[in-house]
């Protein structure tokens, strides 16, 4: 049997099915969990319609946690997704489109201050309107 290391593809046997995923025996008296989201690249509403106990499946080891828990995926043909620590940061709104991201820190500060002033004015106007309504009653 092949070694159990992250990235290895192993053939295993489904030994348990729960609403959240399937437990797969991968040899060496070890089991791993294939989360329902890792069973298929399309949405799986009912896991029992896709997989059942004693099915032979090919899985890739995606993670081995410090406590010994093993995460598996049946989505072998797909590129492994980066873990949250390796994600590329989302682009800021200023970085989009031509001329985006060219504002200086001072302009951003001024924009924030003008937004706050506008918000305070709107808030005061609304509170004034609310007060007028209350006085009419």
Report residue 24's pLDDT band, with 50, 70 and 90 as the boundaries.
very high
Task: Give the separation between CA 59 and CA 72, rounded to whole angstroms.
Answer: 6
Candidates 89, 80, 72; CA nearest to 27 is 72
- Predicted TM-score of the model (pTM): 0.55
Report residue 134's pLDDT band, with 50, 70 and 90 as the boundaries.
confident
* Stretch among 11-15, 106-110, 122-126 having the lowest mean pLDDT: 106-110
CATH topology of domain 9-77: OB fold (Dihydrolipoamide Acetyltransferase, E2P) (2.40.50)
């Amino acid at each position: 049997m092949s070694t159990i290391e992250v990235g290895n593809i192993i053939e295993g046997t489904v030994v348990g099915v729960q609403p959240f995923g399937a437990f797969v025996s991968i040899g060496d008296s070890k089991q791993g969990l294939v989360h329902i989201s890792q069973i298929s690249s399309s949405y799986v509403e009912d896991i029992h319609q896709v997989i059942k106990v004693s099915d032979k499946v090919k899985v890739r080891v995606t993670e081995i946690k410090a406590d010994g828990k093993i995460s598996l995926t049946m989505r072998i043909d797909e590129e492994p997704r980066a873990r949250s620590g390796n994600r590329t940061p989302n682009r800021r709104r200023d970085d989009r489109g031509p001329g985006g991201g060219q504002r200086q820190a001072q302009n951003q500060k001024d924009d924030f201050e003008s937004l706050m002033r506008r918000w305070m004015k709107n808030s005061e106007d609304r509170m004034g309107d609310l007060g007028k309504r209350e006085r009419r009653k």
